[in-house]
Amino acid sequence: MKYLFGPVPSRRFGRSLGVDLTPYKTCCFDCVFCQLGRTTHKTVERREYVPVQDVLSELDRWLAGGGRADVITLSGSGEPTLHSRFGEVIDFIRKNTDSPAVVLTNGALLHLPEVRAAASRADVVKTSLSAWDQHSFEWVNRPHEQLRFEQVLEGQKTFRTEFSGKLYLEVFAVGGMNAMGSSMGKIAALAEEISPDRIQLNTAVRPPAEDFVEAVSPERLAALCPLFHPPAEVIAEFDEKIDSKIQVNTEALLSMLRRRPCTSEQIAKGFGMHANEVSKYLGSLLRTGRIRAIRKNGSVYYAMAAKKSAARDSA
């Protein structure tokens, strides 16, 4: 499949089939925390980046092969709402499957009526808010020069009034940037104006675009939750034991890393996997301490974690 990937484990939705509607790292933002690295094509131009008919044909093939997922998610290599026909993909999913259609968007283009109209056809839309003014917006999200924070915020607030589905809001916490109580208080006040159904706190559990990004501890995230209304939740970890396919792929990936360190790009090529899919597997293995990340010559390599000493193993 060229445009579908997974199903992959999602901390929000369970087993998610991804639908990728843009070339790698085509986005309106260049967030310092992005798990896929720096944005290589920062744009606000909306067009048919990949052929919709080809995407729908792949979905047809997947369904004909007995494909099942908890949700089908427009996400992947960039910002899905940049695709001028993403609403048609949502329509196909809702007409031909029993899986809810989910859109993972940074919300940057929701000030456009046509984007709001298309996104409103989804069952669930997840937007993001990790800043509180133009300065912090440029610091954390590094948006396209044409985007203004107030415009993005108003677009999300307007979308809430027009959307009858479930609206989730993700707040990405970065140590030393926006995770202080004063900063989160400002974000929480704006989040309440948007009035989402759920607010979810996230942090850098996978290697981010920039080395200086610091993850926030689960305890600190939990302490920030009461600042929000409704109270925020820390996104729960996905239990990979419930899916045998995930376990098989994890063991195959570990077998590869036992032999030599690899970058995520090398892993994707070796397994024929999507970059976003690889990132989720690596994130799980990093969190459980089975592998480690090594930065070398501007790239991130993944290797098996160092073995514990015999004394510790016998303790």
Residue 253 DSSP SS3: helix
Q: What is the pLDDT of residue 76?
A: 80
The Cβ-side half-sphere exposure at 91, using a 13 Å CA radius, reads 8
Is residue 29 a contact partner of residue 143, using CB atoms and an 8 Å limit? yes
Q: What is the pLDDT of residue 127?
A: 97
Pair of tokens at residue 310 = 């015999």
Q: What is the pLDDT of residue 148?
A: 97
Q: What is the pLDDT of residue 241?
A: 44
Q: Compute mean pLDDT per 10 residues along the chain, 315 residues long, and list them.
A: 79 85 93 88 96 96 91 91 97 95 97 98 97 96 97 97 96 93 95 96 84 89 94 69 52 75 78 76 82 77 68 37
Is residue 18 a contact partner of residue 73, using CB atoms and an 8 Å limit? yes
Q: What is the pLDDT of residue 310?
A: 37
Rg (CA), the chain: 19
Name the H helices within the chain: 52-64, 86-96, 113-119, 134-140, 149-162, 181-194, 218-224, 244-259, 264-271, 275-287, 310-314
Q: What is the pLDDT of residue 236?
A: 52
Q: What is the pLDDT of residue 295?
A: 75
Q: What is the pLDDT of residue 286?
A: 83
Q: What is the pLDDT of residue 312?
A: 38
Q: What is the pLDDT of residue 242?
A: 41
Q: What is the pLDDT of residue 10?
A: 76
Tell me the domains of the chain and their CATH numbers: 4-238 (3.20.20.70), 241-307 (1.10.10.10)
